[in-house]
């Protein structure tokens, strides 16, 4: 699903965020990405989203070489990736429904189709009854679930989550992780950046560890899936 081949990223400021990173994530996997802040997790996510381009090396996503994806093809490429942010990036000028519907509207779905899919997605995260509310009236955990509903509404093959539980208490975090596990069981590939070692340990999934821009553990699917202490 995702293959990095000696990928380096050096920003214009001269800071080297990733250096010669190699790893492979298979279709249908659920992988945690850990490391201290500044280890390169965000850069790695941005490279997959084509928000940044590598200075060196090759990135394949879904069997496509991403360096060939340019211009308006980037927008179409992103429609196959659901993104969950730590600050959930919801728009407070519209209802929960409209927030979740955004990826479908952008992709040009029919209104009837949109209604059906948005409700299915909100149902999955348990917020069906709040579709008419403004997200600003929801709690932090609920807002994050709206963000997740928006990420999966398009049924993307890949979900990227950047510190999705960063602002939540352990109980809500566990709930979010349960949701992610369900999506994984439906066949979606998930890459979740997190520094919550305890939570990751309990999930019993493969952990890709980054330190100072290098992969220090979990580069391949067969590597053991426990978090290092």
Name the site residues for other proteins (rule: CB under 8 A).
1, 27, 46, 49, 51, 61-64, 72, 75-80, 83, 89, 91, 93, 102-103, 105-111, 150, 154-158, 183, 186-189
Cβ proximity to other proteins: between 161 and 199 the closer is: 161
Cβ proximity to other proteins: between 140 and 187 the closer is: 187
Q: Report, in Å, the least distance between residue 161 CB and other proteins.
A: 13
Q: What is the dihedral of CA 103, 180, 1, 44, to 10 degrees?
A: 80
Cβ proximity to other proteins: between 182 and 223 the closer is: 182
Whole-angstrom Cα distance, residue 144 to residue 151? Answer: 10
Cβ proximity to other proteins: between 15 and 89 the closer is: 89
Q: Report, in Å, the least distance between residue 62 CB and other proteins.
A: 2
Q: Report, in Å, the least distance between residue 23 CB and other proteins.
A: 18
Cβ proximity to other proteins: between 14 and 108 the closer is: 108
SS3 string, the chain, reads: CEEEEEEEEECCCCCEEEEEEEEEECCCCEEEEECCCCCCHHHHHHHHCCCCCCCEEEEEECCEEHHHCCCHHHHHHHCCEEEECCCCCCCCCCCHHHHHHHHHHHHCCCHHHHHHHHHHHHHHCCCHHHCCCCHHHCCHHHHHHHHHHHHHCCCCCEEEEECCCCCCCHHHHHHHHHHHHHHHHCCCEEEEECCCHHHHHHHCCEEEEEECCEEEECCCCCCCCCCCC
Q: Report, in Å, the least distance between residue 88 CB and other proteins.
A: 10
Q: Report, in Å, the least distance between residue 122 CB and other proteins.
A: 16
Cβ proximity to other proteins: between 156 and 209 the closer is: 156
Q: Report, in Å, the least distance between residue 228 CB and other proteins.
A: 30
């Amino acid at each position: 699903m995702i293959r990095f081949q000696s990928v380096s990223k050096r920003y214009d400021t001269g800071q080297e965020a990733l250096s010669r990173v190699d790893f492979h994530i298979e279709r249908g996997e659920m992988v945690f990405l850990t490391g201290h802040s500044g280890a390169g997790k965000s850069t790695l996510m941005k490279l997959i989203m084509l928000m940044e381009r590598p200075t060196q090396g090759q990135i394949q996503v879904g069997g496509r070489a991403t360096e060939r994806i340019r211009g308006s093809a980037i927008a179409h490429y992103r429609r196959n990736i659901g993104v969950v942010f730590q600050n959930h990036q919801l728009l407070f000028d519209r209802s929960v429904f409209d927030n979740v519907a955004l990826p479908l509207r952008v992709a040009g779905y029919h209104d009837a189709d949109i209604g059906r899919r948005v409700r299915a997605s909100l149902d999955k995260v348990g917020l069906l009854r709040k579709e008419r509310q403004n997200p600003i009236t929801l709690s932090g955990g609920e807002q994050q679930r709206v963000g997740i509903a928006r990420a999966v509404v398009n049924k993307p093959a890949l979900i990227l989550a950047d510190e999705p539980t960063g602002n939540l208490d352990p109980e809500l975090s566990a709930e979010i992780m349960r949701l992610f596990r369900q999506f994984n069981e439906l066949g979606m590939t998930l890459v979740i950046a997190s520094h919550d070692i305890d939570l990751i340990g309990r999930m019993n999934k493969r952990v890709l560890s980054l330190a100072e821009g290098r992969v220090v553990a979990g580069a391949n699917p067969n590597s053991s899936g426990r978090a290092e202490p």
